[in-house]
Structure formats: structure tokens, C-alpha cells
Amino acid sequence: MAYTEPSAVDRLSFMQSAKNVAIVGASDNPSRASYFVATYLLSAAHFKLFFVNPKLDEILGQKVYKSLADIEEPIDIVDVFRKASDIPGVLDEAIAIKAKTFWMQLGISDQASAERGAAAGLNVVQDKCLKIEHARFAGGLNLSGFNTGVISSKRNKSI
């Protein structure tokens, strides 16, 4: 199966159907993007979060797992905050745990891994921030004056 970039509607569907999200490369440093995204998702999203970082034991009061394989619950979205050269190895782990969606954060893309992930049956998102996409559809960005392409006078409670 060849990789094609999922549409905004597809990305919304991935988020709506997800229950468990693993953040690979999660950090306990408040100045890191993964920390900011984690705090947002903990407060604004319906996801149960699992943090993955082999060097840490706890982030935001939650247990940190050394690898995706250590998580005992099924993972719907693997949200990756690692450099592009680390993506193939993280993808291997995501395929092994039968994740549904492999999501490379803003600024991260790897076309060969995207093709391989799609061929393995995963939904693959590249170069997009899960927090920004969630806020876009939940109404959090348009309240700040951003044009999200979503026209509504109400906040979306479905994601």
C-alpha cells in the first residue's frame, strides 16, 4: 500500500477513534515541545497517555515506560518526538505492538518509514502536531484567532 498524506478529515477520525496514545520521546523538561503537548492532551483530550523515554521514571506524575513493548494496554496512536533518523526503529516498535496510527510530530518526516508503515497497515501522519490538530478541531485554535478551516460557533466536544 503506497503512502498518501491523510486528509484533515482522516486525522480527525484517527483522533476521535483513539483511546490510548503513547508519546515516544516524552520529556520532563517544561521547555520541550513533548512536555507542552503532554500537558495539553492531559487536560483537554479524552486520550489516556503513556509516556515513553528510557531515561526517565516519571513525567507529570505518571509512570514512564522504557519502550512501547512495555505498555500493557493497546496503543491507538504512537506520537513520536524523536529525530528523523530514529523513526525507523520507533516504527518497528509501533508495528510490533500493532498500533493503529503512527504520528510523526511537527518537523519530523521520513518518507521511507511512511511507506513502510502504510504497507504494514498503519495510518501514518507526518510533520503534524497532535496537539495543534486536536485544538484545531476542538475549537482551541480559532479562539486565538487562527483560521482553522472549521466554521462553527460552538466548540467541538467530540474529540
Q: What is the CATH number of the domain that holds 83?
A: 3.40.50.720
d(CA 53, CA 67): 7
Strands 123-125, 101-104: pairing is parallel
Question: Which three cell numbers mark 119?
Answer: 504497507
Confidence band of 117 (pLDDT split at 50, 70, 90): very high
Q: Which structural domain, as residue segments, surrounds residue 18?
A: 8-130
Count of the separate structural domains present in the chain:
1
Distances (CA, A) of 60 to 28, 64, 65, 122: 7, 10, 13, 29
pTM: 0.87
Quick one: pLDDT at residue 145?
Answer: 45
Quick one: pLDDT at residue 140?
Answer: 57
Quick one: pLDDT at residue 146?
Answer: 46
Contact 28, 59 (CB under 8 A): yes
Mean pLDDT (whole number) for 30-38:
95
Quick one: pLDDT at residue 127?
Answer: 97
Q: Is residue 93 part of a domain?
A: yes
Q: Is residue 148 part of a domain?
A: no
